[in-house]
Structures are given as structure tokens and as C-alpha cells.
Structure 1
Amino acid sequence: MPEHTVEISVFPSLAAVSAQDWDACACPEAAGGGRPIDPFTTHRFLLALEQSGSVGPGTGWAPQYLVARVQDQVIGVAPAYVKSHSQGEYIFDHSWANAYERAGGRYYPKLQIAVPFTPVTGRRLLARPGFETTAPTALAQGAVQLTANNRLSSLHITFCTGNEAQAGAEIGLLPRIGQQYHWENADYASFDDFLAALSSRKRKTIRKERATAQAFGGTLRALTGDQIQPAHWDAFWRFYQDTGARKWGTPYLTRAFFDIAHQTLRDDILLVLAERDGIPIAGALNFIGRDTLFGRYWGAVEDHPCLHFEACYYQAIDYAIAHGLARVEAGAQGEHKLARGYLPVETHSLHWIADPGLSDAVERFLAAERAAVGEDIEILTSYGPFRKTGGHDQ
């Protein structure tokens, strides 16, 4: 095979790809033992999803991992799944599916390049250093070919980076923009330093919320690594089931995922627990990246005013400031985050649709949506809690 020829292979299990080869593409920045930019495309995280049964048979997420090689060297990888529904994606295409099926088409199955159940921006077309152009292009083209060859309706690359979105658009994929809320660390020395950047009214509100939450009758603990014990996952599973049942009907992650996470991911995890009389009654699960804390799940078995805000948002800010992290990403949706210092930012995805008629309709929709999202971000940012330069502190 000529040296420049890229070969794409598809594997139904990540066990067929070595952690060394996968992570050389997914997180080369962690090769020396440091943290990855985010843990969600690492071999250990994706394998935990698969081994726990959170993806695979019966879930609607059938793994089809893409691997790009030049000769015997793995130069790129992508976490891909054949989907039989649109659950657990957070960039919604339900309306596209409904319209296509009303017109007599078959929208499912489709191909998704994504981290399941994880609305976190990151690289999706993962390249070994030195192949940053060759590998993503080959992976994107291979994914389109896989979609077409298997008569799937469409390809979706969700929560990709802005650079990936631009490169994908240049080869004919349809770019989409969404939004979520992030907290940015302006080199704050303390939480009070952060509060000083807010209007006085917002400062008072947050201080009142923190005091209300702290008065729930117990203590809050932030645990990571070996501080996390197996029994903590028993408690968090109860919280997660409660939230999952209310939001999705059935929780996405299985109980086994948390057992595997304890073995292979606990150094990537920050677990905030609210305990009363030594018994956990609420908790928030975060993942730790190189410069970002990623808020993922929250749950509680008791209802206490403002405890959700404290455990999910303010404890995360405390941790980020104490550890010099640049931002906190608090997950999908939630305009209530705005008043707590989390401002709207763009998210990106790419789409390829086999049917020309549906593709044209989606392309028109996305153009209008991009303009609307841009306006929303501008307006929402203006309503943020920060003091206006040159204005009154109110």
C-alpha cells in the first residue's frame, strides 16, 4: 500500500483497538501522564460505556469505531455509533426525523460520531500528531461512505470543535450551531473575587442562595481519586436514577458503569456529596479535564432549597478557582445558569443527509437557526450578572 494511502477500518468493540493506539490520537497531550483536555474520548471512558452495557445491544447505540491507518500505523480514530433513535444526543434532530418519516422516508438507523450522553465540546475526528489534516478528512469521508454503503439516512458529528465544523463545511457537511452555558475563570483568587465582578444585586442573590443551601442540616464534600469509595457510588446511583427517571424515563448509564468508573476513571472524577448525619442525600458528578471542569449529573433523595445550585454550580466554581482551571462547563440547556455566572457560548455539529430533498430542507433550516442562535447568545449575554463597564453597580 503506498505510504500516503489511508485505510479506514470499522470495529464493533473498542477492545479490538489498543488503548495506546486510541489514546495516541484521542489525547496525545496526556502521553506524559498528565490530564487529557477532556476524558470523554479516552479509551478508558468509551470502553467503560461499552463494558457496562450503557451502549451496545438493546440501547440503540451500536458501536462502530472508526480507525484510520497508514500502513500499520493508526493515524486517526473516531467514536461512532449506529443509532436507532435520537436519545442521549442533546443536539436534537427529532423534527427532521418526523418530517422525513411523514414523507415516507426511513430516518433510522443513522450514524452518529459522538460521545454518548455527553454534551461536551471536544475533538471528534481524533488524529495522531503529524496527521491533523489527513486523519480527520479521511475519517469524515470514511464516515460518509459508511453511511451511504449501509443505506443509513444520515451522519451526525455532534459537539465537535469549531475548527472541525469549519473543516467539515469545506468538504460539504452541513454545519449547525447551538448554545450552552460556561463559567469562565478570569484569574479569580477566590469565590468572593468572582462575586466582586458581579452586580451588587446578583452578589446578594448568590450569597443568599449559598447560605440557604448550606443550612440544609449537613455538610458538603468534594471528593476525587482515592477519596471516592465504592459505597459512594451506591448513593450516587440512587440520585442518578431519580434524575434519570424524571428526565429521560430510563437512565442512560447502567449501575455497572459506576463500578467500572471507580476502577478506571476515579482520578478523572470530582464527586460532590451533600451528607446529613453521615448519609449522602444529594450529589453532583463532574469530570476533570486539563483546564476545564465538566458538570455531568445531579440527583437527590431529599429536596432542600438551593442545594442543587450549590452542589452543581458553586462547588464547581470553588473547585475551578482552587485548582486554576479556566472554565466550568455545566452541561446542556438551562437559562437559570445565566444568573449564576455561566454565560452562553456556541456549540457545533456537522451533518450529512443522504436524501437530497431532506438535505436541502435541513440546510435552509440550519441557516435560519444559526442566525437565531447568534442573536440569542448576544441578548442573553447582555442579561448576564456581571457589572457593566462604565455603568451603575446595581
Structure 2
Amino acid sequence: MSNLKIRIAERAADIPHAAWSAFAEPGHPFLNGDFLRIVEEQGVAIPEAGWQPLHLVASEDDAIVGLLPLYLKSHSHGDFIYDWSWKAVWERFGHRYYPRLISGLPYTPVGGPRLLVARDAADGAAVRNALIGVAKGIVEENGFSTWHVALASPADVEALQTAGLLVSHDVQYHWSDAGFGDFGGYLQSFSAEKRRKVRAERRRAAESGLRIAVRHGGEIGAHEWPALHALYKSTFDRFGNHAAFGTECFAALAATLGDRMVVFTANDGNVPVAVSLCFRSNDTLYGRYWGASRHIDSLHFELCFYQGIDYCLRHGLTRFEPGAGGEHKISRGFTPQVVCSAHWIPDPEMRRLIAPHLERQKAGVAAWQDDARSHLPFRKPETGIA
């Protein structure tokens, strides 16, 4: 592909919306030309917040054939690489760790393609390799410590590993529809004891007297977002963390994404007292943010898990990814899944230090996945135990 050229776009909005839509999964709520544009325009992912956009755009004969979301970051918050300890290692050897490059979705632990290539590209592998090569070059030419590709798809991980990147492993907990039909059918797949526990949790939430509502982004007025945002922010305030998304950002996402945003609320009369904010693609629901103004027994499980599963079953979605972490998801039927990220470390000494750590991590994650699977609530078909 002798005519292939790669440029840097300093804003997602500088890349034609049609290119994002053509390269990403249809209906995806994040890689669609809207999400990244809005979080940048609303100050969530901008240089002043530690996210400098440097998106790579590959073109051939003036036609865009590839994209790579890319940010220069001055911290490790909100990218789900979990590399806080790496900074100390770099400094111990006299190196500066920040800034470093990251390809991923700001404050969004959702896996998927990062090397976006046009389906009709004459040589998709060449486009992918060119994007990788330019990203590696930016690191080396500027003396940056690393380039991380967060939660990449298996195909991307393979290409990145072939290009010399190291791979890290982590576990998330995902729900999949096995033809359950409805929530009652889903519970029938549980052992009797686990089924009783879920029913008890749902009953306690119902007995609170709160009214559960499920709406899409386009159904929520701009005047409602201050109250919903206050609930979201309360979770971060409780743990001394920063709530990255502002009220106007949520309102813009809701108005633009419409049905691709799903909001579950628990209401005391007309006042929302808890919210679970999710997004959806054509086949997957993504749980993102929870907040409540007071503690109500089992309401978190109801809004963040059970309502989401019920939504998937009613709307024909086959997957539910409720976010990073949370071993308590296992007993509610979320299966441990290994997710991978890739890391370019140009310094040979630092690479030799990190590589064995990642190999040990891989073995530990595999062992954790095996153990976690043994705690799933489902009946054991081989024994017929109910």
C-alpha cells in the first residue's frame, strides 16, 4: 500500500463521523464518532484533564482506511491498565513514566477493537501494521515510556503481540443469554439455594416501595440530569474519587446516543433516589455508573444486575457486561472472562523487568478464572442437583 499515509487528529471531531461508523461495530455506543467527540468537547478527555487526543488516521488515495484512538496521558486514572506500580519501577531505574500513550476508551472498561480498519481495505493487515508502527514510533521519537492498548479484541491482541507488544491479562464478569426466555427461566438455571437468594434480594428491593423505571437517553429531559448526576457523583465522593463526567456531558450523551443509553432509576414518588446508567449496542448491554442517595437493602443488585439482565432478555440482547471488578457478580450468574491489554515498552531493560511479571500475572488470572467458575450459581447438569 504505497499510497498509505497516517496523520494525527487532535480531536475526535476532526475525523468524519462516517469513518467511525463504517469501521466500528454497528450500533456500538462508544466507537461511533459520538462518544469520543462528546467526552472531549465536554472536558472529560482533554489535555487539561490529562488526556491529550492524538488519534491516528490512515488514508489511501484520500480515503480513510484505518483509525486508532490514541491519547497522551499524564496519569493512570480511567484507562483500566492498572499500571500504578509501574511508575515506581521506572523511577527506581532513573526513568520518567508519565506521560505515556494509551489506546482505549476514556473511563470505560469495555473491550473491543482498537485498530479500526475499513472492511473493504485492499490490505487490512498492512493498515493495521502501519497504525501500530506509527504509534510505536511516537513513543520512541518523543522518549515516552510506553504505549498501552487497553482491553483489545483477540484479533488486535494477536496483531499487537506479533508486533512485539507484551500482553497483560485481567478478569471481568459477563452475563450471556443461553436461551433463558425471561428472568424466571434464567433463575431456573440456578441451584435451589442460589435461586432463593436472588428472589429474596429482589423481594427486599420491591418491598422498599420505590418505583423502578427504565428509560433510554432520548426519553430523559435535560432538566433531569442534575439530579441523576448528583446520584452518580455521590458514589465517587463516598470513596474520595473524582467524578469525571459532568451533568452537561451526560445530557449530551443522552441526547446524541438516544436508545444506546439505558437508564435504570429507583424513584421515591417523582424523586430519583438511585440510578444505574448503562449503554447498549445491538447485542450487548454495558453497565457503567451507579449512585444512590441512601442505602436500601439489595437495591444495588436490583438496579445494576437484575434489571439489566431482565432488559437484555426483553430486548433480545445476548450479553451484559456490568463493568470492571466485582467478585460478587459471580453468585448472580456473571461468568469470569479473561480480557487482555497490550503494552509497548521500547526500553530493553524495562521490558525485561516487566515481561516476567506479566507471565506470572497470566498464570494467576487463569487460576483465578478456574476457581471463580466453581462458584457460579448454576445447576450441575452432570449430577442433576437442583
- Give TM class, smaller chain: over 0.9
1:67 counterpart letter in structure 2: V
Match status 1:104 vs 2:94: yes
Instruction: Return the letter of the residue paired with 2:101.
Output: L
The structure 2 residue matched to 1:164, chosen from 156, 160, 175, is 156
Q: Shift in Å at residue 5 of structure 1?
A: 3.5
Alignment of 1:114-153 (within 5 A): 114-131=104-121, 132-153=124-145
- The aligned counterpart of 1:228 is 220
Q: How big is the shift at 1:392?
A: 5.3
Matched residue SS, 2:336: strand
Compute the displacement of 1:306 (Å). 0.5
Deviates more, 1:201-210 or 1:56-65: 56-65
Query: Aligned-pair distance for 1:208?
Result: 0.1
CA contact (8 A) 2:260 2:281 kept: yes
- The 8 Å contact of residues 47 and 53 in structure 2, kept in 1 or not, is answered as no
The answer (yes or no) to whether the contact 1:244–1:252 under 8 Å persists in 2 is: no
User: Which residue of structure 1 lines up, in the alignment, with residue 32 of structure 2?
Assistant: 42
Q: Distance in 2 between matches of 1:210 and 1:231?
A: 30
Aligned to 1:68, the other structure's residue is in SS state strand
* Mapping for residues 166-181 of structure 1, pairs under 5 Å: 166-181=158-173
- Superimposed CA distance per residue, residues 156-199 of structure 1 (whole angstroms, 9 cap, x where no aligned partner): 00011111111211111111111100011101111010000010
Residues 325 and 130 of structure 1: is their aligned pair in 2 closer, same or farther, counting only changes over 3 Å? same
Which letter maps to 1:41? L
User: Which among 291, 294, 301 is matched to residue 299 of structure 1?
Assistant: 291
Please report how far the alpha carbon of residue 94 of structure 1 lies from its aligned counterpart in structure 2 after TM superposition.
1.0
Return the offset for 1:261.
Answer: 1.1
Alpha-carbon distance in structure 1 between the residues aligned to 2:294 and 2:55: 40
Residue 368 (str. 1) matches residue 366 (str. 2): no
Residue 339 in structure 1 maps to residue 331 in structure 2: yes
**Aligned residue pairs, count:** 384
Identify which of 240, 250, 261 aligns with 2:253: 261
Q: Please give the residue correspondences for 1:176-325 in structure 2 after superposition, counting only pairs within 5 Å.
A: 176-247=168-239, 249-325=241-317
Alpha-carbon distance in structure 2 between the residues aligned to 1:141 and 1:39: 28
After TM superposition, the structure 1 stretch with the greater mean CA deviation from structure 2, 168-177 or 333-342, is 168-177
Amino acid at match of 1:4: S
Are residue 57 (structure 1) and residue 55 (structure 2) matched? no
Over the residues paired in the alignment, what is the CA RMSD in angstroms? 1.3
- Greater mean alpha carbon deviation, residues 316-325 or residues 137-146: 137-146
- The one-letter amino acid paired with 2:51 is W
Partner of 1:17: 15
Partners of 1:140 and 1:290 in 2: CA distance: 29
Cα contact 1:143–1:155 (8 A) shared by 2: yes
One-letter identity of the residue aligned with 2:171:
Q
Task: Please name the residue that 1:33 is paired with.
Answer: none
Per the TM alignment, residue 277 of structure 1 is displaced from its structure 2 partner at its CA by 1.4
Match of 1:8 in 2: 6
User: Given that residues 210 and 267 in structure 2 are in contact (C-alpha distance below 8 angstroms), is that contact kept between their aligned partners in structure 1?
Assistant: yes
How far 1:376 sits from its partner (Å)?
Answer: 0.7
Gaps of 5+ in 2: none
The letter of the residue matching 1:8 is I
Give unmatched runs, 5+ long, in structure 1.
31-35
Q: Which moved more, 1:225-234 or 1:269-278?
A: 225-234
Shift of 1:260: 1.2
What's the TM-score once normalised by structure 1's chain length? 0.94
Comparing 230-239 with 277-286, greater Cα deviation is found at 230-239
Name the amino acid aligned to 1:12.
Answer: E
Letter matched to residue 271 of structure 2:
I
Residues 215-264 of structure 1: CA distance to partner in whole angstroms, max 9, x if unpaired?
A: 22221011014322223322210111111223462111122211211321
Identity rate of aligned residues, in percent? 35
What per-residue deviation string (whole Å, max 9, x for no partner) do you get for residues 343-391 of structure 1?
Answer: 1001111100121111111111111111110111011011111111222
- Whether the aligned pair in 1 keeps the contact of 2:10 and 2:54 (CA below 8 Å) is yes
1:225/1:54 CA distance change after superposition, 3 Å: closer
Aligned-partner Cα distance in 2 for 1:252–1:226: 22
Rounded Cα–Cα distance in structure 1 between residues aligned with 2:344 and 2:382: 47
Q: Distance in 1 between matches of 2:14 and 2:280?
A: 27
- Describe the SS at the equivalent of 2:168: strand
Deviation sequence 1:64-101 (CA, Å, 0-9, x none): 11101112011011111000011112221111111111
Q: Deviations over 1:204-223 (max 9, x none)?
A: 00000000011222210110
Report the TM-score when normalising by structure 2. Answer: 0.96
Letter in 1 for 2:370: E
Q: Does 2:81 align with 1:83?
A: no
The 10-residue stretch of structure 1 (251-260 or 264-273) with the greater mean CA deviation from structure 2: 251-260
